[in-house]
């Protein structure tokens, strides 16, 4: 039982990271119907930013964190401006391929700049454990879960209560109508990319104490975040997080209780099963084309 709880907590922590990456997918998808296959790479670049600020420049953790998030937000905006905006309105598959290309590019570039070794960052949560009776929970895992919850609450209020959040929701519903109503759609889309990249960066920073940072970490985690996003319905922000947690827990449990090899396959088997039973995901809406 103790094992189970421990596995459950680490699964949830991992799932939160998946969920944050999936959240990035969903934000961008809702606004522009672009699936950003480079979302995992954005997280990876965020991790490297943090490593540069904290590991190389020796800044304080929180300052480094803040700088990295801001830097990634700017990075997201630039990416949107350079690569996505010119091709918005092309067939969806072309845009998907462009983001795959972006992912390739970032992965190789990061490898060239920061090398291909595993890097480690020291954070306030790196060691230290929380003991409840016999239960031992590592701070790094707990920090991921807590930070994710905080981030969600912030995003929730941003989307529901602020003017810009409302504009973003309007743009997601109907871009053309939003444009007619005087919403600066281009700025909104730019900002959505910024937020999405910033969220990815948070995921990267939170992940740092748990695994090493490596140029391929984005690909591996990004691929796991797809099932999470699909499970959540690809259009639903809470869905993405729930989906992420489901995938994270399943994966950890499979790694602990099943034979070797299952761990990597289980998320995809679940994904295929969900797609078969509910093609629009657990929280998705099935919309119909009007003829």
Which residues bind to other proteins, rule: CB under 8 A?
A: 29, 32-33, 35, 83, 86-90, 92-98, 100-109, 111-112, 116, 175-176, 179, 215, 223, 226-227, 230, 234-235, 261, 264-265, 268-269, 271-272, 275-276, 279-280, 287-291
CB of 271 to other proteins, least distance (A): 5
**Among residues 108, 113, 79, 121, which one has the least CA distance to residue 211?**
121
Q: Which is nearer to other proteins, 82 or 150 (CB)?
A: 82
Q: Which is nearer to other proteins, 143 or 215 (CB)?
A: 215
CB of 63 to other proteins, least distance (A): 30
Distance of alpha carbon 266 from the chain centroid: 20
Q: What is the rounded CA–CA span in Å between residue 163 and residue 184?
A: 12
CB of 19 to other proteins, least distance (A): 16
DSSP state of 54: I
CB of 139 to other proteins, least distance (A): 32
Other Cβ atoms less than 10 A from the Cβ of 61: the count is 17
**Among residues 225, 212, 221, 196, which one has the least CA distance to residue 69?**
196
Q: Which is nearer to other proteins, 175 or 205 (CB)?
A: 175
Q: Which is nearer to other proteins, 124 or 279 (CB)?
A: 279
Distance of alpha carbon 249 from the chain centroid: 16
Q: Which is nearer to other proteins, 60 or 174 (CB)?
A: 174
Q: What is the rounded CA–CA span in Å between residue 252 and residue 118?
A: 22
CB of 240 to other proteins, least distance (A): 14
**Among residues 207, 221, 287, which one has the least CA distance to residue 251?**
221
């Amino acid at each position: 039982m103790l094992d189970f709880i421990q596995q459950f907590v680490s699964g949830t922590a991992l799932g939160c990271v998946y969920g944050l990456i999936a959240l990035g997918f969903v934000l961008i998808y809702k606004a522009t119907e672009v699936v950003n296959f480079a979302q995992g790479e954005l997280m990876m670049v965020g991790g490297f930013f943090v490593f540069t600020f904290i590991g190389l420049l020796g800044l304080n953790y929180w300052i480094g964190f803040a700088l990295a998030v801001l830097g990634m937000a700017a990075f997201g905006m630039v990416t949107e401006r350079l690569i996505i905006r010119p091709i918005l309105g092309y067939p969806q598959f072309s845009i998907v391929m462009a983001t795959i290309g972006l992912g390739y590019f970032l992965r190789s570039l990061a490898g060239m700049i920061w090398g291909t070794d595993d890097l480690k960052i020291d954070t306030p949560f790196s060691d230290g454990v929380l003991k409840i009776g016999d239960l031992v929970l590592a701070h790094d895992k707990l920090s991921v879960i807590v930070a994710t919850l905080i981030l969600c609450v912030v995003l929730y209020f941003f989307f529901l209560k602020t003017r810009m959040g409302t504009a973003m929701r309007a743009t997601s519903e109907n871009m053309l109508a939003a444009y007619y109503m005087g919403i600066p759609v281009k700025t909104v889309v730019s900002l959505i990319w910024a937020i999405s990249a910033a969220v990815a960066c948070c995921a990267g920073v939170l992940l740092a104490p748990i695994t090493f940072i490596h140029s391929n970490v984005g690909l591996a985690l990004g691929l796991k975040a797809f099932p999470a996003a699909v499970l959540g319905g690809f259009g639903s922000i809470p869905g993405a997080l729930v989906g992420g947690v489901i995938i994270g827990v399943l994966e950890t449990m499979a790694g602990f209780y099943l034979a070797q090899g299952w761990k990597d396959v289980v998320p995809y088997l679940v994904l295929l099963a969900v797609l078969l039973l509910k093609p629009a995901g657990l929280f998705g809406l099935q919309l119909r084309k009007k003829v």
